[in-house]
Amino acid sequence: MPADLSPSDKAKFLAAKRAVDYVKDGMRVGLGTGSTAAWMVRCLGERIREEGLKITGVPTSRRTYDLAQQVGVPVATLEETRWLDLTIDGADEYDSQLNLIKGGGGALLQEKIVATASDQMIVIADITKQVETLGAFPLPVEVIKFGWQTTKLLIEETLINMDVMGRECSLRMNVDEPYITDEGNYILDLHLRRIAKPSQLSLVLNQIPGVVENGLFIDICDVLVIGHQDGRVEVRDINNGTVENERIDILEEDNLFQDLSD
């Protein structure tokens, strides 16, 4: 592990390192998108090089595809694999029920498709992503370009009847142009501050014409792996109802990927 990692990156790295222990020979693995998921892809590349691990990865974005190629993780499309053994991905927020907000990296649509096409979803995060109630992180909603202003208006009107604290809705930008997802859509970020009923909100949002998908991941996560800055890793398994704490000791000279970019 690089000596110059920030405390936050160290926690993300530890979570990723522990999560890839779930990956076994012959598995088809969904590869998430984002800074924490990037560590996971690198750790898989390390296992492939060091252990001869044989897997097939299904990336959830072009960025993840490029990184997987760079570190030697074999990739395929979901059309080719059809179904996956597990998916490992990060989260922007998680609550005590392992409900998530995802999509800060702009890949929520492919991430949700891949996660729900898996026998198991493992989420990796650091403790700063934990919240009592979802909503502090803006909720991404992917919408088609056609009529997006009307879709935005419909979303704002719908939020009036939802149990949320804020209703501001903004178009995500990439410098001075709208951000474009891998599927060619826009993203609206909903600044809700608190989402009292995430399941209800998710269902209602997806009924609005023009909405493709939203970043609420409800009842999808099976295992949460939380990295801590002091070297501890907490593993919460919602299906077994277990919480385990471990410590991972990693030698700095063992790092094989410190020069790779996210």
Q: What are 28's strand-pairing partners? A: 56
Say whether 102 counts as a known binding-site residue. yes
Question: Which pair of tokens denotes residue 254?
Answer: 């063992």
Amino acid at 141: V
Give the CA distances from residue 150 to residues 145, 174, 188, 200, 209, in Å, rounded to whole numbers and listed in that order: 10, 21, 12, 22, 9
Say whether 17 counts as a known binding-site residue. no
Say whether 199 counts as a known binding-site residue. no
Do the bridges between strand 100-101 and strand 93-94 make them parallel or antiparallel, or are there none, so unpaired?
A: antiparallel
Active site includes 111?
A: yes
User: CB of 70 within 8 A of CB of 262?
Assistant: no
Gyration radius of the chain's alpha carbons? 18
Give the CA distances from residue 37 to residues 15, 21, 33, 212, in Å, rounded to whole numbers and listed in that order: 10, 14, 5, 23
Say whether 36 counts as a known binding-site residue. yes
Say whether 92 counts as a known binding-site residue. yes
Say whether 34 counts as a known binding-site residue. yes
Task: Give the distance, in angstroms, between the CA of residue 155 and the centroid of all CA atoms in the same chain.
Answer: 23
Say whether 89 counts as a known binding-site residue. yes
For the chain, the distance separating the N- and C-terminal CA atoms, rounded to the nearest angstrom, is 15
Amino acid at 2: P
Say whether 147 counts as a known binding-site residue. no
Say whether 91 counts as a known binding-site residue. yes
Residue 198 backbone class (left: φ over 0; alpha: ψ -120 to 50; beta: rest): alpha
Say whether 103 counts as a known binding-site residue. yes
Q: Which of 46, 93, 111, 213 is catalytic?
A: 111
Annotated binding site for substrate: 33-36, 89-92, 102-105, 129
By annotation, the residues acting in catalysis are 111
Annotated binding site: 33-36, 89-92, 102-105, 129
